[in-house]
């Protein structure tokens, strides 16, 4: 049976290939994101996320990753984030 065959299957190589083979009938859809070029000035050595006048490294990483929206920053923090559009 299939269950017995899978229990005796030895995985070698890239595990993503195995996962892909087990996902029969699923069509992957690739999302394309527009590149965002932000310049974020880190001016604090603290390790927090809070609206104040400073941007910590943690906040900068979250801004770049898109997990900290710019509208959640204070006005002072927003002034430390610049959108760098490529010149054409």
- Residues 35-48 have pLDDT tens digits of 678 899 999 999 99
Residue 40: strand pairing partners = 81
Count how many Cα atoms sit within 13 Å of the Cα of residue 78 in the half-sphere of its side chain.
7
In this structure, are residues 53 and 38 in contact, taking their beta carbons and an 8 Å threshold? no
* Tokens found for residue 3: 């269950």
Give the start-to-end residue ranges of the domains of the chain: 38-83
Residue 47: strand pairing partners = none
- Round to whole Å and give the CA distance between 18 and 10: 10
- Round to whole Å and give the CA distance between 69 and 32: 19
pTM for the whole thing? 0.58
Query: Which is more confident, 26 or 13?
Result: 26
- pLDDT tens-place string over residues 23-71: 445 555 566 656 678 899 999 999 999 999 999 999 999 999 999 999 9
């Amino acid at each position: 049976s299939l269950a017995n065959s899978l229990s005796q299957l030895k995985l070698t190589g890239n595990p993503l290939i195995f996962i892909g083979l087990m996902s029969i009938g699923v069509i992957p859809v690739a999302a394309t994101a527009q590149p965002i070029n932000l310049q974020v000035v880190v001016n604090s050595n603290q390790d927090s996320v809070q609206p104040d006048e400073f941007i910590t490294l943690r906040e900068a990483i979250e801004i770049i990753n898109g997990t900290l929206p710019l509208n959640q920053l204070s006005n002072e923090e927003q002034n430390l984030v610049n959108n760098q559009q490529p010149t054409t």
